[in-house]
Amino acid sequence: MSKAVIKTKVKKTVLRYGAGELYGFDVTALPADRIRVLSNAAFKSQPCPFRGGVCNKAGGVCTLRQFSKLGTDVAVVEDSSLVATCPSRFYDTGVALAWVGRTLLETEAPLVLTELPFLMSTTPGESDEPSSVGKIDVVLVHPDTTTLRWCALEVQAVYFSGASMSKDFNVMKKWVESGLPFPQGIRRPDFRSSGPKRLMPQLQIKVPTISRWGKKMAVVVDLPFWESLGSITEVDHVSNCDIAWFVMKYAHNGTRFRMEPAGLHITTLDRAVEGLTGGKPTSLSVFEKTLRKKLVNLLPH
């Protein structure tokens, strides 16, 4: 008599990205009652811990983080980093601005100016004055303005693709468990949209003129963003660069994470574009070989 084979279902670990921080607080360090309070809060009623004033990001999600679920056990994925989704995150305690100022302007207390007109319209308008069609978002200036010393600044957070956070908030608003709420939607940091599609055009528009003026562009990103880029050949000295990349990492401090420097990378614009593109062109022969294969399906036999 043959014995019955009993099949057991093997549990698989599920990985998803969810909120890493709410209004600057580490979600994994919060008790259930605080998760409920923060996820139910109207975002403009909550202070932004990084730039001051009130939070201007709906939902108050500063960063994403990857979580795992095996059965009913939810945990943070080991060695996973926070990924900034809000530009304000990079103003944490002013560390990044002081680092940029010290490196490019010889001051740790640069003045911060915003929204400076950069590209002016060439199309005649109702006014005799040319209108701005493009701006440099942030300019850092040495406080001794006898001789103007300044640099442009770009901070780049990461967009995410996939499910919105609404279902996650529906769970967190009623959370009473002792463990962590597992993300309800499938989403991921979209480094491709954030780098090649958003940051790269900004650099290509602004850096050539800024470099001709003898000034530098500072770009502040976090470590996951930098590691998503392709290889970038660096130059040997700040004086030879077009762009200085200030890469930040996260250090845990109680119920919060604080940003701190992870590495400085100095590059030309051309090498930066190659890294943001994340690849190199194929050869003509390989390209045309692929082209011919596709033509087979279109040409009559």
CA 88 to chain centre: 10
What are the φ and ψ backbone dihedral angles of 24, each rounded to 5 degrees?
90, -5
Helices (H), 5-119: 32-40, 95-100
> How many domains in the chain?
1
Ranges of beta strands (E only) in the chain are: 14-22, 25-26, 61-70, 73-76, 83-84, 111-120, 132-141, 150-155, 160-162, 187-189, 217-222, 243-253, 256-267
Is 291 strand, coil or helix?
A: helix
* β pairing state of 14-22 and 61-70: antiparallel
What average pLDDT values come out for the chain (301 residues) when binned by 10 residues?
A: 58 93 95 95 90 90 96 90 96 96 97 87 60 78 94 95 94 93 95 92 93 96 95 94 97 91 96 83 83 81 62
Name the pTM for this structure: 0.86
Q: What's the domain range around 228?
A: 14-284
8 in any annotated domain: no
Tokens 């082209």 -> residue: 291
3 in any annotated domain: no
300 in any annotated domain: no
* Helix axes of 200-212 and 269-277: crossing angle, nearest 10 degrees: 180
**What does DSSP assign to residue 99?**
H
**What does DSSP assign to residue 242?**
S
Amino acid letter for position 269: L
297 in any annotated domain: no
Please, which residues have CB within 8 angstroms of residue 8's CB and are 6 or more apart in sequence?
A: none
pLDDT for the residue 130? 56
197 in any annotated domain: yes
pLDDT for the residue 132? 54
How far apart CA 101 and CA 93 sit, in angstroms, is 14
How far apart CA 220 and CA 154 sit, in angstroms, is 6
104 in any annotated domain: yes
pLDDT for the residue 5? 58
205 in any annotated domain: yes
pLDDT for the residue 282? 76
What are the φ and ψ backbone dihedral angles of 157, each rounded to 5 degrees?
-85, 180
pLDDT for the residue 127? 54
Neighbouring CB atoms inside 10 A of 105's CB total 21
201 in any annotated domain: yes
CA separation (Å) from 244 to 65, 78, 101, 156, 267? 27, 30, 11, 13, 6
pLDDT for the residue 117? 85
pLDDT for the residue 43? 79
Q: Are 172 and 181 in contact (CB under 8 A)?
A: yes
Pick from 90, 3, 4, 8: nearest CA to 51 = 90
Tokens 């680092």 -> residue: 99
Pick from 141, 157, 72, 67: nearest CA to 104 = 141
